[in-house]
Amino acid sequence: MRTLSASLVIICLSACLGACGFVGFPGVYKINVEQGNIIDQEMADQLKPGMSRRQVRFIMGTPLVEDTFNQDRWDYPYVKRNGRNVLSESRMTVIFEGDSLLSVEGDYLPPAWSDQDTEETQNTGEEESTDEEPTEQDGETAG
């Protein structure tokens, strides 16, 4: 009888301890875990079109992901987590043509590329507005 009750107590304790891993102990401190390359706007601002791979590696550090199938693309992902919660996340992609820097994509853009993006958007917007105006005028004159 005592061995049965002792066995039952052991089984109950094992089940309770197993459940603690699923739920988690209250008040347990979880550290922030940073994974990837820490990138900031100052680093991105130093990038200029035509820079060599060596210069980019000096500024940005070694990329976390170098695609073996596309060697002209370097990826710099970054994730900061506390347990399972994602606190912050960013990414940056650097694209080369041969040995010179061609473009930068992602969360941090250097001024050289952000200016080009705004100009392209403005040019596209102007073209769309000029295309729409004659159509409306043709409709008004015909009606």
Which residue type occupies 65? V
- Comparing 51 with 8, the larger pLDDT belongs to 51
- The Cα-based distances of 22 to 11, 46, 84, 104, 113 in angstroms read 17, 46, 13, 42, 47
Report the share of the chain in percent with pLDDT over 70: 68
**The pLDDT value given to residue 134:** 47
| CB within 8 Å of 20: residues ≥ 6 apart | none
Domain 31-126 top-level CATH class: alpha beta
| Cα–Cα distance, 68 to 46 (Å, whole number) | 26
- Comparing 68 with 115, the larger pLDDT belongs to 68
Residues in the chain: 143
User: What is the overall mean pLDDT for the chain?
Assistant: 76
Domains of the chain by residue range = 31-126
pTM: 0.59
Residue 90 has pLDDT above 80, yes or no: yes
pLDDT band at 24 (very low <50, low <70, confident <90, very high): low
| Cα–Cα distance, 47 to 59 (Å, whole number) | 8
**The pLDDT value given to residue 58:** 93
- Comparing 137 with 83, the larger pLDDT belongs to 83
pLDDT band at 16 (very low <50, low <70, confident <90, very high): low
Picking from 93, 87, 100, the residue whose alpha carbon sits closest to that of residue 65 is 93
The string of pLDDT tens digits covering residues 93-127 is 999 998 999 999 988 888 877 655 544 444 444 44
Residue 10 has pLDDT above 60, yes or no: yes
**The pLDDT value given to residue 109:** 85
Question: Are 81 and 32 in contact, with CB atoms under 8 Å apart?
Answer: yes
**The pLDDT value given to residue 19:** 57
| Cα–Cα distance, 78 to 51 (Å, whole number) | 23
